[in-house]
Amino acid sequence: MSDDAARLNLRLLEVEGAEDARRILGELGTDPAGAAIMSRKMVTASVSVENVQARASHIIKQVMLSKGGDCATPRDVFLIDGKDLVNVILIGTEKQLSEAAKSLAAQPFGCKALASELKGFIAGSLGEGGGTRTLRAGDYQLALGRRTLVMGIVNVTPDSFSNGGEFMSFEAARLRALEMAAAGADIIDIGGESTRPGAEAVSLSEEERRTIPLIEAIAAEVRIPISIDTYKSEIAARAMDAGACMVNDVSALRLDERMAPLVAERGVPVILMHMQGMPRNMQENPSYDDVVADISRFLLQRARHAIAAGIAPEQVLIDPGIGFGKTVEHNLEIIRRLSEFASLGHPLVLGTSRKRFIGSVTGRVVTERIMGTAASVAFSIARGVDVVRVHDVEEMLEVVKMADAIAGRERPQ
């Protein structure tokens, strides 16, 4: 691993006071002395940096101290490519982190690579550079950051967890999509294979029969982007020929090696979602060392895979996959710490709509989870989500409009 080739994973850790700082440091395995130092400081930003050479951690600490910040190092050391690596936490203000990045650029042991990524991270996640971005979807341009976008879900499946096949017929699905567009949805997401827990895969021909004629019909009648929810490249290609201009892949480009080149060739946005296991077994025994850190690492790796395949970085969106191989507590922890995903440098998509964890908390059946969904949508917007994927478009548009206003985002009248 050369100095310039070191790959680092940066995440913003949201810290609220000394007690929260000690909790985060304890979870990440830092020594008590580091926690004591941190408790005496007003912490405004903490950045978790993974895979730093052990020798570099001492340099990083000295640089951060010289800028008035601090650096905590967990006890664990691990070996990759013959090098001792550690994870560190940089603690300081945006200015202190920026000044440290300048100094680290002249240091050895991977610090140059860290400085380069840290500068980009600060611009995209802490500074003003992470404001409005444009997502290009066919003939459409979607402004991200100015307001939260709403993606309406139309599942054309007989066993959907959310509607029990309510929109299985062509005409019912078409009318629902038109209703969503008229209500103000920004994107329509069409899926022909259920991904509920325990669901089995459907054949290529059946998925095509359910989705392609519907996309053709909707594309002729609405003036918003249509997304195809599939992990099969052949379905995605046919959907794009029919008028879709986005791909929503629950496998994050893992299950069909032809999907990434296809998306790159067509130049469409792609949503990379995290899923532990497959729908038929993903809820059997989901487990993580740290659910947010583990999923963040996965999403960064898949984003890099997508970019290496030729997909433009600005066309890559990420989704932590609520309910896809997660317990109720996992889902709640993901939502609590969404700002860490929002800091990864890619637009963040979240789908909590009507999901089982809401029923576990509220005691409501799937058709009565609109208020629980609304709460999760509003909270996620406060934590930096760019796109919310929902069934109840009309109601959630009001929630989004209000949450955007509170968060300081503007929604056009």
Of 129, 147, 176, which residue sits at a domain end?
A: 129
Residues 109 and 205 in one domain: no
Residue 4 lies in a domain: no
Residue 208 lies in a domain: yes
Residue 412 lies in a domain: no
Domain count across the chain: 2
**Active-site annotation holds for 389:** yes
Q: Say how far apart CA 187 and CA 181 lie, in whole Å.
A: 8
Residues 48 and 140 in one domain: no
Annotated catalytic residue, options 147, 326, 369, 389: 389
Residue 386 lies in a domain: yes
Residues 93 and 174 in one domain: no
Residue 3 pLDDT: 43
Residue 121 pLDDT: 77
Residues 14 and 148 in one domain: no
pTM of the model: 0.79
Structural domain boundaries enclosing 68: 9-129
Residue 238 lies in a domain: yes
Burial class (CB in 10 A: 0-12, 13-18, 19+), 230: buried
pLDDT tier for residue 240 given thresholds of 50, 70 and 90: very high
393 pLDDT exceeds 90?
A: yes
Residue 268 pLDDT: 98
Residues 291 and 387 in one domain: yes
Residue 284 pLDDT: 74
Taking only the tens place, the pLDDT of each residue in 138-168 is 999 999 988 999 999 999 987 554 454 455 6
Residues 123 and 190 in one domain: no
Residue 413 lies in a domain: no
Residue from 362, 363, 360, 356 nearest 325 by CA: 356
Taking only the tens place, the pLDDT of each residue in 343-357 is 788 999 999 999 999
The predicted model gives 208-217 an average pLDDT of 96
Residues 386 and 241 in one domain: yes
Residues 175 and 87 in one domain: no
Residue 306 pLDDT: 95
- Weakest mean pLDDT among 19-33, 41-55, 251-265: 19-33
Annotated catalytic residue, options 174, 355, 356, 369: 355
The predicted model gives 280-295 an average pLDDT of 82
Residues 321 and 226 in one domain: yes
The predicted model gives 170-178 an average pLDDT of 93
